[in-house]
Chains A and B, each alone.
Chain A
Amino acid sequence: MINARFALLCFLFLAPAFARARTLEVCASCAYNTIQQALDASRDGDRVLVKAGTYKEPTLRITKKIALTGENYPILEAPKGQEILVIDADGVTVEGLQLQNLAPHYLKDLAAIRVHRKGFFRILNNRLINTFFAIYLEYAHDGEVIGNTITGTAVNELSSGNGVHGWYGEYVCIENNTIKGHRDGIYLEFMHFCSISGNHSEANVRYGLHFMFSNDDHYANNIFRKNGAGVAVMFGKRIGMTDNLFDYNWGRSAYGLLLKEIYDAKIERNRFVQNTIGIHIEGASRVAYRQNTFQRNGWAVKIAGGCLDHDFSQNNFLSNAMDFVLNGRVNSNTFDGNYWSEYTGYDLDRNGLGDVPHRPVKLFSYIVTRTPESIILLRSLFIDLMNFSEKVSPVFTPAGILDQQPLMHPIS
């Protein structure tokens, strides 16, 4: 009896759901010829399946909780001066589309896919080619942007927009996207509690990833390669940065990572390879650096004024032109227990720790900070002598900056 009642209840509740789950197909010979027609006819819970083809339609506004899915990457374009897709409902999925050719506009930030004041969206496995702003999230929350390939063709064109642009929002997951040739690969302003992982951001005009006024975010396992500069984290609190690769961010003022006005950050297990500056730090406090590897950078770490409580330990400093540059007053920072390929000390008691402290700041780095042109003397005998004599009897280099327990072997 109870079972029969339960079955009846189930039927009564689920019947409307079964009735609603429809698939609306769009193609030249289907029931719907344009995506707009299918959107108009759709109801909450439906799936609009777009078959391969080219669809040039005015801005498509999704106002129902549906899935818009492409089969074999149908091509979507919009007339000049219009956006392609606007998500204007909660719980929308957009998957497998190719959105392309959105011309730059000076007064409007036109985007291929825009999410406006909505949540629970999923933007999956789309291709966005030559779009001004590719994915624009404004006041968006609880969403996923996963597996998209975003390619801006305007590599040197400075009127380009950002690949993924977040402006006000929280709990957004940006994962496994490939982003090339935009202004910033990923730009997040006033975005909190977001996770950015597994992305490949390359050859963007400004930054691979850019945080502004955002708190409690975490980015991990990303690759930032050959961007104007790798990642800029500015004016934020409690940002986690782990297992990322920053490489070939090379140029006059390029850096792998810029920290500006940052509090309580964790930087762990990242690799900084062949950047002009590995990490450039200005006005940041309470930052812990663990198990990072700095390899073949011009400057591994450059610390400008106003930096408090930076704790470097278990990092590898391998073959950098200069490991540390300090500019201005720097207080209560620790540098104990790192591996320095420049370390020339010895380990008589064989405990794995060098018996004499290492001084990571060379006298020459002070001269270079004052007179950048003197960098041409970097490998000269005179500079070597000067650095050596300073190491033997330090006069200019601050006493506090030394590694009391330099490691004899690199951390793997």
Chain B
Amino acid sequence: MKNALFLLTWLLLSGCKPTPKPIEYGADVCAFCQMTIVDRQHGAEVVTKKGRVYKFDAIECMVNYVAQQGSESFALFLTNDYMQPGALTDATAATYLISRGVPSPMGAFLSGFGNEPDARTVQTAKGGDLFSWSALQDMRQKKGFLGPAE
């Protein structure tokens, strides 16, 4: 009986624990711009502290959405790794590249990398600048909106 109660409580609590969900490419829709998510290299996802998942077709959409909603309500930030299409990695620890040589779905030329050497490799090949997660937020704040770099 006690065990059953424990199990029930655990189930209830774990139900609300923020866990990431895989992005269904080709079916899921971006929570910010309504576009269908198909690009496996530029998708992103946030999970709220209550466990609700919002998915994005581009990192710039995630950054804009988080700024719009206020970042305090979110528990997890995830981004696709440009070098491993389809894989999600911790967005707050990722390295970002803004390069005219690598277009992203919403025109910000922004890609994320799980580890820095990969980002440097692509930077050497395609040009551009590297950013951290917090530098990206600062940039959004300065520009008001992450979008086409024109």
Contacts and interface: CB of A to CB of B under 8 A. Distances in A.
A and B interact: yes
Interface of A: 106-107, 156, 158-159, 167, 183, 189-190, 205-207, 212-213, 228-229, 232, 234-235, 251-253, 258, 260, 280, 282
Given A158-B26, A206-B26, A213 B34 contact: no
A159 B86 CA distance: 10
5 contacts: A190-B107, A206-B35, A212-B107, A234-B33, A252-B27
Contacts of A183: 38
A260 B148 contact: no
A206 B38 contact: yes
Nearest to A253: B29
A211 to B, nearest CB: 12
Interface in B26-81: 26-27, 29, 33-36, 38, 40-41
| B34, B38, B41, B150: residue with the most chain A Cβ atoms closer than 10 Å | B34
Contacts of B107: 189-190, 212-213, 235
Contacts, number: 48
B34 A258 contact: yes
Contacts of A158: 25-26, 38, 40
B22 interface: no
Contact of B35 (A156, A190, A213, A234): A234
Contact of B36 (A106, A207, A213, A260): A207
B118 to A, nearest CB: 11
Nearest 7 CB-CB pairings of A with B:
A253-B29, A158-B25, A206-B36, A158-B26, A206-B38, A213-B148, A205-B26
| B25, B33, B150: residue with the most chain A Cβ atoms closer than 10 Å | B33
A258 B36 CA distance: 11
| B35, B106, B150: residue with the most chain A Cβ atoms closer than 10 Å | B35
Nearest to A232: B35
Interface in B114-150: 122, 147-148, 150
Mostly, the B contact residues are: loop
B67 to A, nearest CB: 16
Nearest to A229: B36
Contacts of A189: 103, 107
A205 B122 CA distance: 28
A253 B33 contact: no
Nearest to B85: A106
Nearest to A212: B107
Contacts of B38: 158, 183, 205-206
Contacts of B33: 234, 260
Nearest to B125: A107
B103 A167 contact: yes
Nearest to B103: A167
A232 B57 CA distance: 14
B34 A260 contact: yes
Given A212-B107, A252-B27, A159 B85 contact: yes
A232 B6 CA distance: 50
Contacts of B103: 167, 189
Contacts of A251: 27
Interface in B9-26: 25-26
B40 A159 contact: yes
A282 B34 contact: yes
A303 B107 CA distance: 25
A204 to B, nearest CB: 10
B139 to A, nearest CB: 19
A252 B37 CA distance: 13
Given A213-B148, A229-B36, A253-B29, 18 more contacts: A107-B122, A158-B40, A159-B40, A159-B85, A183-B38, A190-B107, A205-B26, A206-B26, A207-B36, A212-B106, A212-B107, A235-B107, A235-B147, A235-B148, A252-B27, A253-B27, A253-B36, A280-B34
